[in-house]
């Protein structure tokens, strides 16, 4: 199917065409039936039925129309189409496929030229693969940052208390989450109504935003620090080289295991922490180890309903 799609590109002038992305396509759909259903609305130049499913398990397709003047009007008409009793969701595709090289009879020099790598060239992936990779981030998702580690852990319960039942929450690292909505209207309504999230989230952005500030949660243990020096001030002084404390080691008196200090920090380091730190007192200089726990960690707690 991929080879067929590329051959069609070489013979179609995509600059005069409008491509629609079709979601919620039934499992038993086929290209011929889709072509018949859409051809009554406008002349079609191509139909592509995806071979992979989207992130939410749904099938998808692309339909390309020729000579569309009123794109919003056509989109409204197409969104009423059903297939085997199931309504199809239509959206104008923002990306444009690049044209494949046109066939030519020109005779080329037999001596091959060395190709130089250039930025912006496509790799071996198809357009459909790229669309699946990022399209679900558009319109129906938001990126948000929790106020604290405690807020992050209880976020599903906290937002459900605000009657956000149609919301799915995914953890993406640090104190950040991805909020997935059923449609763009719900996503925009949540974004614009700060009262719905201000008590639990520092900020909320559209899902397609490029977040450049990398952060992750790391659990570290401090070893070799004498008990007499245990306290938040000293823990903070040791950890500040690596990040900011978000889960302190407190209530020391009632703890049974005093072999090491376990602390949660938010860090920008991309590699595992395993270093020494120096603690200076009036009479001594003490070396302590700061070692990151090598274990999987997931923030959401299973709160009772």
- What percent of the chain stands above pLDDT 70? 75
**2-92 belongs to which homologous superfamily?**
RRM (RNA recognition motif) domain (3.30.70.330)
Bridging pattern class, strands 216-223 and 244-247: unpaired
Using CA of residue 128, residue 132, residue 137, residue 138, what is the dihedral sign? Answer: positive
- Exposed/middle/buried for residue 218 (C-beta within 10 Å: 0-12, 13-18, 19+): buried
Bridging pattern class, strands 285-292 and 261-267: unpaired
- Exposed/middle/buried for residue 176 (C-beta within 10 Å: 0-12, 13-18, 19+): buried
Q: Where are the alpha helices (DSSP H) in 44-201?
A: 71-78, 127-134, 149-153, 155-161, 184-192
Q: Residue 261 phi/psi, 5° resolution? A: -105, 125
- pLDDT average, residue stretch 262-281: 92
Distance CA 52, CA 74 (A): 27
Stronger pLDDT, 197 or 213, i.e. the higher one: 197
| Bridge partners of residue 168, in order along the sequence | 180
**Under 8 Å between Cβ of 145 and 176:** yes
pLDDT tens-place string over residues 230-261 = 999 999 999 999 999 999 988 887 888 888 89
Distance CA 263, CA 22 (A): 48
Residue whose entry in the numeric block shows the structure tokens 């130089």: 116
Residue whose entry in the numeric block shows the structure tokens 């992130």: 55
| Bridge partners of residue 89, in order along the sequence | 23
Confidence of residue 113 (pLDDT cuts 50, 70, 90): low
Q: What is the pTM of this model?
A: 0.53
Q: What is the second-level CATH architecture of the domain 138-206? A: 2-Layer Sandwich (3.30)
Stronger pLDDT, 5 or 249, i.e. the higher one: 249
Lowest mean pLDDT segment, chosen from 4-18, 156-170, 261-275:
4-18
What pLDDT is attached to residue 142? 92
Q: Does 214 have pLDDT greater than 60? A: yes
Q: Does 1 have pLDDT greater than 50? A: no
Distance CA 154, CA 5 (A): 47
What pLDDT is attached to residue 271? 93
Query: Could you give the count of Cα atoms lying within 13 Å of 77 in the half-sphere of its Cβ?
Result: 12
**The sheet that has 59-66: what strands, in order across it?**
44-49, 59-66, 17-25, 89-92
Eight-class DSSP state of 95: S
Confidence of residue 146 (pLDDT cuts 50, 70, 90): very high
């Amino acid at each position: 199917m991929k080879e067929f799609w590329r051959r069609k590109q070489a013979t179609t002038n995509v600059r005069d065409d409008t491509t629609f992305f079709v979601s919620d396509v039934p499992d038993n759909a086929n290209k011929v039936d889709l072509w018949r259903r859409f051809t009554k609305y406008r002349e079609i130049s191509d139909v592509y039925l995806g071979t992979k499913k989207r992130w939410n398990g749904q099938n998808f397709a692309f339909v390309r129309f020729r000579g569309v003047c009123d794109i919003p009007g056509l989109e409204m008409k197409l969104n009423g189409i059903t297939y085997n009793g199931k309504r199809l969701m239509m959206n104008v595709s923002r990306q444009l496929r690049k044209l494949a090289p046109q066939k030519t009879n020109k005779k080329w020099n037999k001596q091959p030229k060395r190709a130089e790598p250039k930025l912006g060239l496509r790799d071996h992936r198809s357009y459909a693969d790229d669309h699946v990779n990022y399209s679900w981030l558009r319109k129906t998702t938001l990126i948000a940052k929790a106020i604290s580690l405690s807020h992050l852990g209880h976020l599903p319960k906290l937002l459900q208390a605000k009657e956000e039942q149609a919301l799915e929450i995914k953890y993406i690292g640090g104190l950040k989450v991805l909020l997935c909505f059923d449609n763009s209207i719900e996503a925009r309504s949540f974004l614009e109504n700060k009262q719905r999230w201000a008590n639990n989230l520092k900020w909320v952005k559209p899902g397609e935003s490029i977040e450049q500030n990398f952060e992750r949660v790391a659990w570290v243990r401090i070893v070799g620090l004498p008990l007499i020096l245990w306290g938040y001030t000293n823990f903070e002084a040791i950890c500040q080289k690596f990040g900011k404390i978000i889960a302190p080691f407190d209530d020391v008196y009632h703890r049974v295991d005093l072999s090491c200090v376990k602390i949660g920090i938010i860090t920008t380091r991309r590699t595992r922490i395993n270093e020494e730190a120096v603690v200076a007192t009036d009479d001594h200089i003490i070396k302590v180890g700061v070692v990151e726990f090598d274990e999987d960690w997931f923030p959401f707690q299973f709160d009772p309903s």
